[in-house]
Amino acid sequence: MEITVCKSKIHRATVTDTNIDYEGSITIDSKLMDLAGINEFEQVHVVNVNNAERFVTYVIRGKKDSEIVLNGAAARLAVPGDKVIIIAYGIIKAKKARTFKPKVVLVDEKNIVQKASS
């Protein structure tokens, strides 16, 4: 049997901008993407800590300047300054799930990495 697990997450990132006139997605700082093992165009779930909105979108690689930008329709679900949790999932064998550990990137209010697990 295979199950879906949290593969990686960026925890409590701060939304730096929104762009309603974009086709849709979330732009994430490339350094944060690399540390979390999240790929460009990968599906992610985004949870807004401030207003409890939850949505699914895909990732666009951002510059290395701590940006977290909600684009398109997602731009209506947060405002700059909101805290979000960005979660990527993967499918693994149930037996492997017992020992699997996700990559977790913890950031401060400026999206500067405070701790990253591997």
Domains of the chain plus CATH, in order, are: 2-111 (2.40.40.20)
Contacts of 15 (CB under 8 A, 6+ apart): 68, 69, 70, 78, 79, 80, 81, 82, 83, 84
Q: Which among 25, 30, 117, 118 is annotated as catalytic?
A: 25
Q: State the pTM of this model.
A: 0.96
Residues whose CB falls within 8 Å of the CB of residue 52, separated by 6 or more in sequence, listed in order? none
Show the low-confidence residues of the chain (pLDDT under 70).
Answer: none
Amino acid present at 44 = V
Which of the following is catalytic: 58, 66, 89, 118? Answer: 58
pLDDT of residue 44: 98
Kindly give the pairing relationship between strand 68-71 and strand 25-29.
Answer: antiparallel
22: annotated active-site residue: no
Q: Is 58 part of the annotated catalytic residue set?
A: yes
* Residue of 20, 50, 26 lying closest to 38 (CA atoms): 26
pLDDT of residue 118: 72
